[in-house]
Structure 1
Amino acid sequence: MLRLVLPKGSLEKATLELFEAADLAVTRSSEVDYRATINDPRIADVRILRPQEIPRYVAEGMFDLGITGRDWIEETGSDVHSLGQLRYSKATSRPIKVVLAVAADSPVRTVTDLDDGVRVSTEYVGLATRYFERHGIKADVRLSYGATEAKIPEIADAVVEITETGRALRAAGLRIVDTILESYTELVAHPLAWADDDKRHAMQQLHSLLEGTLVARTRVLVKLNVSEPDLDAVIAIVPAMKSPTISKLFGTDGYAVEAVVPKATINTLIPALKDHGATDIIELPIAKIVP
């Protein structure tokens, strides 16, 4: 039913791992094959292509559904429907920023300090051109095929480049002047495919599986036993997603408690539960959480 396109390159491994964890394993003949399949009746065809190209292909209807970055959606000006962000790898768990940067010793402090004719090197020609036009600056924006930060000062006066922390830019002797865009990876659909009831329903189901898998990565299931006198104290420190499940233990005055809790705090939660009287504490991984 759905024609799906997934990103090749830096996001490829993490994307395939996410789909496998969501029980949507991607199968292909080799790691360099651009064609793939997913054993799911909702997915008819799978391609693996560069994320820079995906927004335009989805917008043109070559694919119904795809994964790409907000930066490339904005760069290409593609008309796509976003189902939402997917933060599934180190590179996508926090936003990538598209920034304007100059030499660290440059007197430029804001974009308006730049003069007409400023030489700008970037992979984001469309995004950068529109940015300077909004600020009334006639910039000479040139396409960079890589090593963009190395082009100041001989080849360019400024760069429009992506960064996560700014560390690489600082190491190259550059200083960030402005953040143009914050970008996450997104699941996007062709507008006409999204308007089709059957395709939209299939897309929503796939999105639920992917999002449920991502949510589960941040949670664990905790199960424990506790005596009746200690029950209130234990419940008070359990940071459950909803109310914890409590069951009476057969033949005793104790209770069994289970709750879904943040994985990030489990290292302090388990000792605290034990200190408050909990016993037989079990931590279990969760595959999916679909509300």
Structure 2
Amino acid sequence: MLSLALPKGSLEQGTLELFREADLEIMRTEREYNPRIADPRIGKVKILRPQEIPTYVQEGYFDLGISGLDWVLESGADVVEVADLPYSKAGMGKVRLVVAVHGSSPWQSARDIPDNARVSTEYPRLTTQFFERLGKRVHIVYSYGATEAKVPELVDVAVDLTETGATLIRNGLKIIDVVLESTTKLIANRASWSDPEKRREIEEIRTLLLGVIDARGRVMLKLNVPAERLDDVVSALPAMKRPTISQLYDDGYYAVETIVPKSEVNVLIPRLKALGAEDIVELKVYKVVH
């Protein structure tokens, strides 16, 4: 039975939705930080700040956790990366740790920043490593939040996490460099990963979560096609693999089922109809397990 640490804050809502769609619904109790999941593989669930989760997973307080790659690297935690889960607050999947300065600054890249510049960040480890790779000595000022608000009055540079860059722009900053790109990670304690029973449970949880991730942006199409138009219709389908085709009873028609990208449906459905498809039905896909 697994113990699981889930992230509070910007990743929280997306995590709750992912687990719900994976049929691992996180049920809140009167103890806000100690929900439960009605699944025999999961014994304990805790909601914590994502900054803390990699270290707690490394130290064995939890078998499994979800946190951003940024916090895994910032903490230096020695954990197993079980899966990449590309979801985030705005649904784009990736966030960036960026170097930002005031919009009026002449600096166009991090290489332009002079030695002894004051840099505010919640990521001192990653920021120090980044500037060391550039051969620069800067003064790191730890930020407890609202990092973008400190430039230029209190510090010269902000190193901050952003998904769209909108908050930085609203505060009069411009991005001049990228420290790293980060996605959400499913991580495991090394001893738990080495335990055959726990590893089996971890891999089963991973299968469910990745099935949901893979299904997002896809739909199922079901349609009927006259026998003489079947080849034309099938050739137009951008199927994951080959479509499922079955002959309908005694009427010269075939039923076709396939999974296609949601982004293509608005063009695809009229095309299929023009090629002879009938009774076209679009269905939501909840999981795709390879």
Structure 1 length-normalised TM: 0.95
User: Percent identity, aligned pairs only?
Assistant: 51
Cα deviation for residue 242 of structure 1 reads 0.8
Work out whether 1:74 is the aligned partner of 2:76.
no
Work out whether 1:165 is the aligned partner of 2:175.
no
Q: Which residue of 1 aligns with 2:16?
A: 16
Residues 92, 185 of structure 1: 8 Å contact kept: no
Q: Which residue of 2 aligns with 1:205?
A: 204
Q: Which residue of 2 aligns with 1:228?
A: 227
1: CA distance, partners of 2:241 / 2:89: 28
Matches within 5 A, 1:140-219: 140-219=139-218
Residues 58, 190 of structure 2: 8 Å contact kept: yes
Q: Which residue of 1 aligns with 2:272?
A: 273
- Opposite residue 14 of structure 2, the aligned amino acid is A
Cα deviation for residue 94 of structure 1 reads 3.0
Change (3 A) 1:54 1:91: farther
Q: Which residue of 2 aligns with 1:288?
A: 287
2: CA distance, partners of 1:165 / 1:69: 16
Change (3 A) 1:285 1:269: same
RMSD over aligned Cα, in angstroms?
A: 1.5
2: CA distance, partners of 1:270 / 1:89: 30
Relative to structure 2, which stretch is displaced further, 161-170 or 205-214? 161-170
- 3-state DSSP class of the match of 1:233? helix
2: CA distance, partners of 1:216 / 1:255: 26
Residues 83, 186 of structure 2: 8 Å contact kept: yes
- 3-state DSSP class of the match of 2:232? helix
2: CA distance, partners of 1:69 / 1:248: 48
Residues 102, 176 of structure 1: 8 Å contact kept: yes
Q: Over residues 139-166 of structure 1, what are the superposed CA-to-partner deviations in whole Å (9 max), with x where a residue is unaligned? A: 1101112221121222101110111232
Cα deviation for residue 174 of structure 1 reads 1.7
1: CA distance, partners of 2:161 / 2:87: 18
Relative to structure 2, which stretch is displaced further, 155-164 or 107-116? 107-116
Work out whether 1:3 is the aligned partner of 2:3.
yes
Cα deviation for residue 4 of structure 1 reads 0.4
- 3-state DSSP class of the match of 1:35? coil
Matches within 5 A, 1:2-81: 2-30=2-30, 33-81=32-80
- Opposite residue 157 of structure 2, the aligned amino acid is A
Unmatched tracts of structure 1, length 5 or more: none
Residues 37, 45 of structure 1: 8 Å contact kept: yes
- Opposite residue 61 of structure 1, the aligned amino acid is G
- 3-state DSSP class of the match of 2:286? coil
Cα deviation for residue 90 of structure 1 reads 4.5
1: CA distance, partners of 2:174 / 2:212: 38
- Opposite residue 181 of structure 2, the aligned amino acid is E
Q: Over residues 100-155 of structure 1, what are the superposed CA-to-partner deviations in whole Å (9 max), with x where a residue is unaligned? A: 11122222223232222110111111211222222222211011122211212221
- 3-state DSSP class of the match of 2:66? strand
Cα deviation for residue 89 of structure 1 reads 4.2
2: CA distance, partners of 1:219 / 1:200: 29
- Opposite residue 3 of structure 1, the aligned amino acid is S
Residues 99, 157 of structure 2: 8 Å contact kept: yes
Residues 10, 89 of structure 2: 8 Å contact kept: no
2: CA distance, partners of 1:157 / 1:132: 14
Unmatched tracts of structure 2, length 5 or more: none
Cα deviation for residue 44 of structure 1 reads 1.3
- 3-state DSSP class of the match of 2:132? helix
Cα deviation for residue 69 of structure 1 reads 0.4
Residues 111, 177 of structure 1: 8 Å contact kept: yes
Q: Over residues 194-230 of structure 1, what are the superposed CA-to-partner deviations in whole Å (9 max), with x where a residue is unaligned? A: 1111111111110000110121222111111111111
Q: Which residue of 1 aligns with 2:132?
A: 133
- Opposite residue 6 of structure 1, the aligned amino acid is L
- Opposite residue 113 of structure 2, the aligned amino acid is L
Relative to structure 2, which stretch is displaced further, 268-277 or 129-138? 129-138
- 3-state DSSP class of the match of 1:281? strand
